[in-house]
Amino acid sequence: MDFLPRVVTFHYTLRDPSGRVIDTSAGGEPITYLEGGGQIIDGLDQRLRGASAGEKFTVHVPAAEAYGSHESSQVQRVKRSALPVEGELKIGDQFRAGTDRHAPVVKVVGIEGDDVMLDANHPMAGVDLVFDVEIVAARAAKAEEVRHGHPHPDDGTGHCQ
């Protein structure tokens, strides 16, 4: 990292461009992350740099800096018999495409006879995101946190859980 990373804690409300709420931390725990550590989308990470505790602002993150564009190559026609799920399928169903825990999650976007159209794009691919953010805390990251790539709990031990 070519900057001095911080550990930042913030609350957020995430909206799509039409203003529909997608997710929020309101009423729950705020998010804590290490700047540049990959715990939040890059576009949001970049736009929160330098923010101070107590600041409230709106952040616009284009799809390219969030979950990327919607790639038509990630939509494929597959035979129903080749799918690792039992029972009836309907449009909108989501499942892991294999038994490996790293296998992509796919969404059923079409059913035509024995063929199923599956979309492996992230559900928010192609969507510009709008975050209402409140910075709760920001501090310099400890050397061990930078080495490990994530913040450590502030429980006095300074160690990973």
Domains of the chain by residue range: 6-67+125-148, 72-119
Answer yes or no: is pLDDT of 59 > 80. Answer: yes
Does residue 159 surpass a pLDDT of 60?
A: no
pLDDT at 152 (0 to 100): 87
**Does the pLDDT at position 5 exceed 80?**
yes
Calculate mean pLDDT across residues 122-132. Answer: 95
User: Which has the closest alpha carbon to 109: 127, 98, 129, 123?
Assistant: 123
pLDDT for 160: 60
Is a pLDDT exceeding 90 seen at residue 55?
A: yes
Choose the CATH number for 72-119 among 3.40.50.970, 3.10.520.10, 2.40.50.100, 2.40.10.330: 2.40.10.330
For residue 82, what are its two tokens? 């080749």
pLDDT value, residue 1: 47
Strand segments, DSSP code E, in 16-69 are 21-24, 31-34, 56-61
- Bigger pLDDT: 158 or 74? 74
Q: Is 13 helix (H, G, I), strand (E, B) or coil?
A: strand
Confidence grade of residue 103 (pLDDT, cut at 50, 70, 90): confident
Tell me what pLDDT residue 99 has.
81
What lies within 8 Å, CB to CB, of 64 at 6+ separation is: 43
Query: Average pLDDT of 116-133?
Result: 95
Joined together, the tokens standing for residue 107 give: 């969404």
Amino acid 55 reads E
What amino acid occupies position 62?
P
Cα 76 to Cα 107: distance, rounded to the nearest angstrom: 11
**Mean pLDDT on 130-158:** 84
Task: Give the residue among 18, 7, 79 at the shortest CA–CA distance from 40.
Answer: 7
The pLDDT assigned to 58 comes to 97
Would the pTM of this model clear 0.75, i.e. be above it?
A: yes
Lowest average pLDDT, out of 85-94, 103-112, 124-133, 149-158, goes to: 149-158
Least confident of 59-63, 67-71, 120-124, 151-155: 151-155
- The fold adopted by the segment(s) 6-67+125-148 is Chitinase A; domain 3 (3.10.50)
